[in-house]
Amino acid sequence: MRTREVPVKRKYVAASAIFALRAFSAGISGDVRQQITLRVVNEDGISWQIVSNAENEAGFILGKAGVRVEWLNCADGFVDWAREERCSQVPGPRDFDIRIVVRQPRERHASALGLAVLPEGAAEGRPYAVIYYPVAEVMAQMSMADAFQVVGAAIAHEVGHLLLGANHSRTGLMRAKWTGAELERISVRSLRFSSDESTGLRRAIAALDHPKLAVAAVH
């Protein structure tokens, strides 16, 4: 699986309505200091049961790293500021967008399963991730893993990039390209973040509450 950063301006995919709101955690105490919100947009009508199962898989993997996830399943479209649903609210510092698509995303290259878009500055938009579902289906057909398991692991992988940056690891969940060994581990829920990556995720989440500020003064 190839994942890359795109340090250029991108439009934020807004959401106009909320379909479901839930929280999932695994192996953690529910400490909100390590909690993030993932705003999932199912752009091409993929079964919401598949999406829900994928969210459970991603939540399990992130939970093992000590990260609690609150899931917002949102509709694609424009924000309706008159509505009070969470999907219509301005994203907070711990909110990240995940787009699951069937049509080839314009950011995609080669046979990438997912990618994380990491703008270089606030003026260039917010970071987000894209999961290309057809590749997940192909990878599932070539292994013992289900497509929703592949999507869930891909979501966790891209969240890793959103929090830790564009670098990959030589082995494990954050490897750049998954082989049959990684897919086998996905099928039995044993593909995880490393200990160092888990620590990095928790530190990165804590740092989201203390953004760096540029101050201009007139003398």
Quick check: is 2 in a domain? no
The residue type of 209 is D
Quick check: is 27 in a domain? yes
The pair of structure tokens assigned to 59 is: 């939540």
The residue type of 143 is S
The structural domain count of the chain equals: 1
| 54-98: pLDDT as tens digits | 999 999 999 999 999 999 998 876 555 556 678 878 888 999 999
Predicted TM-score of the model (pTM): 0.80
Quick check: is 66 in a domain? yes
Quick check: is 98 in a domain? yes
| 95-149: pLDDT as tens digits | 999 999 998 877 666 678 999 998 876 556 788 999 999 999 999 999 999 999 9
Quick check: is 10 in a domain? no
Helix axes 180-187, 147-164, angle to 10 degrees: 110
DSSP alpha helices (H): ranges in the chain?
48-64, 133-141, 147-164, 180-187, 195-208
CATH code for the domain in which residue 28 is found: 3.40.390.10
Q: Which residues, listed in sequence order, are joined to residue 69 by a DSSP beta bridge?
A: 24, 36
pLDDT confidence of residue 81 = 55
Quick check: is 125 in a domain? yes
Q: Which residues, listed in sequence order, are joined to residue 76 by a DSSP beta bridge?
A: 15
Quick check: is 196 in a domain? yes
Q: pLDDT tier at 153 (50, 70, 90 boundaries)?
A: very high
Residue 24 vs residue 67, higher pLDDT: 67
| Domain region containing 192 | 15-208
Quick check: is 9 in a domain? no
Q: Which residues, listed in sequence order, are joined to residue 97 by a DSSP beta bridge?
A: 39, 128
The pair of structure tokens assigned to 160 is: 């890793």
